[in-house]
Amino acid sequence: MEDLLYALKAAAEPTRLRLLVLCAHSDLTVSELTQILGQSQPRVSRHLKLLCEAGLLDRRREGAWAYLRLAQRGPQAELARGLVDAIPEADPTVALDLERLEAVIRDRVARADDYFRRNAKEWGKIRSLYVDEREVEAALLELLPEGEIHDLIDIGTGTGRMIELFGPRVDSAVGVDLSSEMLLLARAHIDQARLRNCVVRKGDMYQLPAASGSFDAAIFHHVLHFAERPGEAVAEAARVLRDDGRLVVVDFARHELDELRSEHMHRWLGFHDEEVAGWCRAAGLVPEPSLHLPGDPLNVIIWCARRPAAGGALGIHAEHPAPGPGAHAGELST
């Protein structure tokens, strides 16, 4: 009762209600909120502090910046969403705030587009080596059909493409990445797509910023070939899956294009089916049949595994040693 009253008191002020509405639409920094509201930074910061302490806003630090967002989880998240839904967007003050928010988002998109243009040539060079991404995405949509997945995490989200793809089909989606530049791109794409149920967070694939058993599905989309310890990344993804949750790994089959390592920082030259299956078993997951998508010269494989329900059989016990990069050190040219 006391926590509820504290949250209601924290929200019961015009500027703080405006802040809740704005933070329901996008991740925003204090300086961006100051710009939109036309108030001093110390005043806005005080309001934000109260809302965060009341559990109505989440505050996430990314390097030198801190981003505020309407609470996604926790005891006051439902209250926060109810308060925002009760405020008519046609209200003149709110409408002006949202108009100014659009200007902030346009500026983000322009900066993201500039970064993308500067790097598009290199990304396009790699994409030309394998099957069209539209074919990969179509296969992913079949593997994770609408209605079966409610909460999704995209690990190493990059530009946020997986969040864009699945965001309209799930209740919530979280993209995690260590790169501030990639988070800039992903956040801009999510804003453009108006995916209010989706967020991106700065985080490490080996220590995900999420509680155990939080998601129905986890995706690694062309991420593990950069990972120093891919087996550990798979284990961490398995940790955040619920019972019957699914892990999906999209990556290259074993190949010999050494320039991808020397020029594009790939740590591994693709993977064998048995390697990925071994990591999944070691993490307590049950591997499912993989899907091979031939390309020229790179082949893409989609590996899937499922966390069994409590007390369910794994088929192959998790204590069996999992083949890792060391088991194929010569083949992977480490």
pLDDT in tens, 50-93: 999 999 999 988 767 789 999 988 889 999 999 999 998 889 99
Banded model confidence at residue 296, pLDDT cuts 50, 70, 90: confident
Q: Is residue 54 part of a domain?
A: no
Q: Is residue 324 part of a domain?
A: yes
Q: What is the span of the domain harbouring residue 134?
A: 128-332
Q: Is residue 21 part of a domain?
A: no
3-state class of 291 per DSSP?
strand
Q: Is residue 4 part of a domain?
A: no
Considering only residues 125 and 185, tell me which one the structure prediction assigns the higher pLDDT: 185
Residue 104 confidence (pLDDT) above 50: yes
- CATH code: domain of residue 174: 3.40.50.150
Q: Is residue 108 part of a domain?
A: no
What would the pLDDT profile of 195-216 be if each residue is shown by its tens digit? 999 999 999 999 999 999 999 9
- Burial readout 115-145 (b: 16 or more C-beta within 10 A, e: otherwise): ebeeeeeeeeebeeebbeeeebbebbeebbe
Q: How many separate domains does the chain show?
A: 1
Banded model confidence at residue 309, pLDDT cuts 50, 70, 90: confident
Q: Is residue 146 part of a domain?
A: yes
Considering only residues 164 and 107, tell me which one the structure prediction assigns the higher pLDDT: 164
Q: Is residue 29 part of a domain?
A: no
Q: Is residue 262 part of a domain?
A: yes
Element (H, E) at 302: strand 300-306
Contact 71, 47 (CB under 8 A): no
